[in-house]
Amino acid sequence: MIGSILEWLTSADTWSGDSGLGARLVQHLWYSLLAVVIAAVIAIPLGLWVGHTGRARWLVTLANSLRAVPTLGLLFAVALWLGPKFTSDLAFLIPSVVVLVVLVIPPILSGVYAGVEAVDPAARDAARGMGMTGAEVVRQVEIPNALPLMLSGLRSAFLQVIATATVAAYVGLGGLGRYLIDGLKTGDYVSTAGGALVVSLLALAVDGVLALIQRLVVSPGLTGKASLTRRRGMSAVSAEVASSDGGSPLPETNRRISS
Amino acid sequence: MTWVNDHWDEIFTLARSHVWLAGLPLILGLLIALPLGWAARRWTRVYPVLISTSGLLYTIPSLALFVMMPLIIGTKVLDPINVVVAMTIYTVALLVRTVADGLGSVPDDVLQAARAMGYRGFRRFFGVELPLAVPVIAAGLRVAAVSNVSIVSVASLIGVSQLGNLLTDGYDRFITEEILAGIVACVVLALIFDGLILLGQRLLTPWLRAQGARS
């Protein structure tokens, strides 16, 4: 079985053409990137605003409780509702992208919020004392300090999108999920497992690249042994659990932080 | 509500298998993650290895992991065991870090006091460290429970029945009410799991309530 999967993966026929593995891979990455970028454009400013002003914290709670909604259900409900409103291929694309965006707003939002929230109040006060305006505090103090948590939110958002885009093949989205869904329907286990393998490798690769970016852009003052969370005597995860659990009935699922 | 009223039996049957598919991995995952988390705490070199391995495992998309399971454990494609094992992998991946960090959150002076009172080895672990780590572990378990309930519904795509069937069937036959019923049922189940873990945590950490009452 593994032999025939490898054969399938290495065959030129599998990779070539508009619906070949190469094209599907690019498609998958493209949808994922699109959804993450749209979600980030909405969630990052919102998270910064909530974290900076301390207002409307219920937004974060709401976003976190949205995570209990099964992805599959959200996808199907939106596809049934929005699908008929569009003609052509957009009928498949738009509902899926909408769901992907809705789905990854929570991890990004709570990552940004938890990051800003965890900024040492002393650092914020010092910045104000130096005469910085609110916007300057956000740009020069809060964002750099919140960066590790912001990026880990983005990272888990990206992975979630890659996973959900796979499932979205069921409602007609292109991408690598086609191999899994079509393969399961026709009972072609070789291409199903092959597609699954490629999606997994894609997820691992994206995770690796984002981890690298995370390591490169985070201020050196925050990494290494002098990290803020460690000085407070808390491990990164417990700090995250503590910061996210602001009366929310459902705890948060961001899981990784640079350490 | 007509669809729901006509299908209560079906909903309950599906909910029961959903509870199994999401709940059993939660228990198995905790049982596996406890010794692993302990080991990660005990030997500093083990920690990064376990953390990065579990991070990588968690990265694999659920549908992909489900369909690759037969390759790894040699089961049939439609076997529910695939889902249980895959969900256990996710749960362990999520909990190893929580357990390790939970054990790490036990203050040093408490450990020293325990040691001075003669607590050692297993007795110290089960009598002092583990109870004090319960709040952190429970927080991780709640995250795992909520995400398990959601992920299990994807298993209807590989033909394993649970509440996700309401979603796929509702989509295939254009019955919006069935999809909504499936969503609500999943959310209710997630809230029940969440509540049970919270209740367990309260029962296991009576001193936290005592502190709350005093202050």
Cα separation, B94 vs A10, in Å, equals 33
Q: What is the chain B residue with the closest CA to A253?
A: B143
**Interchain proximity B143–A76, CB inside 8 Å:** no
> What is the dotted CATH code of the domain comprising A2-244?
1.10.3720.10
Tell me the pLDDT tens digit for each residue of B67-123. Answer: 999 888 988 878 899 999 999 999 999 999 999 999 998 999 999 999 999 998 888
**What are the residue boundaries of the structural domains of chain A, listed by start?**
2-244
Q: Measured between CA atoms, how close is A54 to chain B, in angstroms?
A: 24
- What pLDDT score does A252 carry? 40
Cα separation, B78 vs B109, in Å, equals 52
**Interchain proximity B186–A68, CB inside 8 Å:** yes
Given pLDDT bands bounded at 50, 70 and 90, which one contains residue A218?
Answer: confident
- What pLDDT score does A223 carry? 66
**Interchain proximity A237–B94, CB inside 8 Å:** no
In B115-154, the residues whose Cβ lies within 8 Å of chain A are 136, 139-140, 142-143, 146-147, 149-150, 153-154
B77 has a chain A CB within 8 A of its CB: yes
b/e per residue A53-91 (b: at least 16 CB within 10 A) = eeeebebbbebbbbbbbbbbbbbbbbbbebbeeeeeeeb
Res A91 pLDDT > 80: no
Asked if A64 and A110 count as a contact pair (C-beta separation under 8 A), the reply is yes
Q: Which residue among A71, A234, A256 places its CB closest to the CB of B55?
A: A256
> What is the dotted CATH code of the domain comprising B2-207?
1.10.3720.10
Res A94 pLDDT > 90: no
Query: Which of A137-151, A173-187, A228-242, B38-52 is least confident?
Result: A228-242
Complex-level ipTM: 0.85
Q: Is the whole model's pTM more than 0.90, yes or no?
A: no
**Interchain proximity B68–A196, CB inside 8 Å:** yes
**Interchain proximity A238–B136, CB inside 8 Å:** yes
Q: Measured between CA atoms, how close is A129 to chain B, in angstroms?
A: 34
Q: Which residue among A67, A235, A256 places its CB closest to the CB of B101?
A: A235
> Across all residues in chain A, what is the average pLDDT?
82
Q: Mean pLDDT over residues B119-146, rounded?
A: 91
Burial group, residue B12, by CB count within 10 angstroms (0-12, 13-18, 19+) = exposed
